[in-house]
Structures are given as C-alpha cells and as structure tokens.
Copies of this chain bind each other. A is one copy, B any other.
Amino acid sequence: VSASSVSRFLRGERVRNAAVIQQAIDELRFRPSPLARSLKSGITHLIALVVPDVSNPFFAEVVKGSEAVSRRAGYNILLVNTDESVEREHELLAALSGRVDGIILAPATERAEAVADLRGTGAPIVFLDRELHGNEDFDCVLVDNAGGARLAAEHLIALGHKRIGLISGPIDTTPGRGRHEGFVDALEQAEIELPPSYVQIADFREQGGYQAALRLLAAEPPPSAIFAANNLMAIGALRALATVGVATPDELSFVGFDDLKLAELLKPSLTVVSRPTEEQGALAMRLLLDRLGGNEDVAARRIMLETQLTVRGSTAAPPELLRSASTRTAAV
C-alpha cells in the first residue's frame, strides 16, 4: 500500500484496498499531519483573531460574532492575546505567519510599525476596531468612536454639567484617540472648559481607570460628571467611586463606553455608549472570508458602525442644580 493511495483514500476517492487501508489506519492510529498538509497546500483553514486583551468582554463578544461566521465557512479561529503590547504583537504575528490563512487584528498601537509584519505574513488582514495610521491598504471594521464620545458628552451637558472629567484610553490607539477627540470637541462646541486636571490618560485597563478616577476626584473642584472611554476603565472608576464614597448619580454622574453584562444590574444601573459588538466581529470575518474566497484585489473597504447612548441610572443633573432646585422649592 503506497502513501499516495492512502492519501487518495483519505480524500474520499474510490480505492481498491479501501478496507485494508482503513484497518491499517485504525491499527496504527494514523492521523494525517495538518502541518504537512498545510505546507504542501498552503491552506490551513485557520484564522487568527489577534486582540489586545482577551479579558475585555468587548473582545469576547467580538469572538462570538466572528466565530458564528467563520464556522459556517469551515474555518477555525485561533484567539491570540497581545496584552496591549507592541512587542508581544510583533512576536505573535511573526509566529503566526504562514500558520493561518488570514488575520483579524486589533493592533496595540496606531503607529505604523506593525505594517512590515503584516506585509510579511502574506495572509490577508482585516483590522478590527483599531487600525494603523494612514491605513489605506487593509479592510477595517471600526466604530464611530468620536461620535460615541460626543453622545456621552452631550448627554452630560444636556443634564447641566459644567465640570466634566474624562478618563481617556491610550492616545496612540484608534478608539483611544477617537473617543478623546470626540469628547473634547463636544465640550469645546458647548464652550465648556476642560482643564488638564480633568483629562486623565489611562491604559484601557481596570487598574488604570481606578487610578485615573482617583486623580479626577482629587481635582479642585472635582468634576460633577465623568466619562470613561472603555468598559474596563469604567469598572475601575466605579470601584474608585465606591472606595472614596462618592454617590452616583447624586454627587457624580458617570458614563462608560461599551456595555457590560452587569451594567443593568448595578445600582444605579450604568449609562453607557453601546454598539453592535457581535456584528462588528461578524463583519470583520465576512470581509476576511471574502478576500480568502478570491476577492483579493478588491480595494480596501472601510466599515464604520454607529454607536448609541443607552441611558440608565448613573447620570442625572449635577448636585448644584439639584441643590438650587430644592432651595427654590424650599423658598416657595
């Protein structure tokens, strides 16, 4: 029995010694090596989903969306965690090169350093939620970060807040920069001052949000409202508020970016900017599968998803308005 016959048998072709081969396979516990197959064929049926933080529920949702789509097309997903580190990302991308048919990437930074890695892989790439500076060559599925931050700011402004603090993400990431800009723009447009002490740059992590919130609360006077530019920092900030003993929304209004499973169950429930998370993952996968399906030479596509404001209980009018309102009532 020759190797090529076994190969054909495995492929489902009609073979004379089918029974014999099957028996030999069982006895020897023979498993064709996917590795060798891939080397020969150049096909892996694997897609890497490279994200900066697997413990961020946003990316967990994204995975769900992507997986639902990829499964139907016969691709399996390898999730890879860069931990927001450019070096790790560089290493991992190198390790993946050739091992996967395509990559969905949420890069650790917008700085275009990674672009060399990307061209090196040969595999099609789709940017997810984050892109590289000046990107025109790769597909991407983004969200209107500036618009979302603007929604949050305008909501707080409409409630009467004048002292609004920002817990920003890293400025060298697409969502960090976008949300920062949108927020600052909205305040400028409303002619609300934003002193430096009201802008705290953190790292999209819980601990960073915690410390940023403490710094905001230490400002003199402290803000009457805070917007945290992602969900993890929001959790950290809420922990800080609880530690210091600031009541929400009575003493301070709070808005997060990206919903949380428990956002509704918190007391007060959490006002957030939300977006179609699973859909974002699904769309990125569709773009990638499209390239893998032969449309390699289509011009790069850029999809921008809309955000929406989900108003819950953590936002209200600032205390000075409430106080003056009750004073007025008392006066009456």
Stoichiometry (number of copies)? 2
Contact A35 B98, CB 8 Å, known A63-B81, A78-B80, A91-B76:
yes
Interface residues on A, range: 35 or more
Question: B54, B78, B95, B242: which contacts A60 (Cβ < 8 A)?
Answer: B54
A29 contacts chain B at the CB level, 8 A cutoff = yes
| Shortest Cβ gap from A272 to chain B (Å) | 13
Question: B79, B91, B266: which contacts A79 (Cβ < 8 A)?
Answer: B79
Contact A29 B120, CB 8 Å, known A54-B54, A55-B64:
yes
B265–A265 CB distance below 8 A: no
Known: A76-B95, A260-B262, A265-B266. 4 other contacts (CB 8 A): A31-B97, A34-B98, A262-B262, A266-B267
What 3 A-B pairs are tightest by C-beta distance, nearest first? A79-B79, A55-B60, A267-B267
Q: A interface vs B, CB < 8 Å? A: 29, 31, 33-36, 38-39, 45-46, 54-55, 57, 60-61, 63-64, 67, 76-81, 83, 91-92, 94-99, 119-121, 206, 235, 238-239, 242, 260-262, 264-267
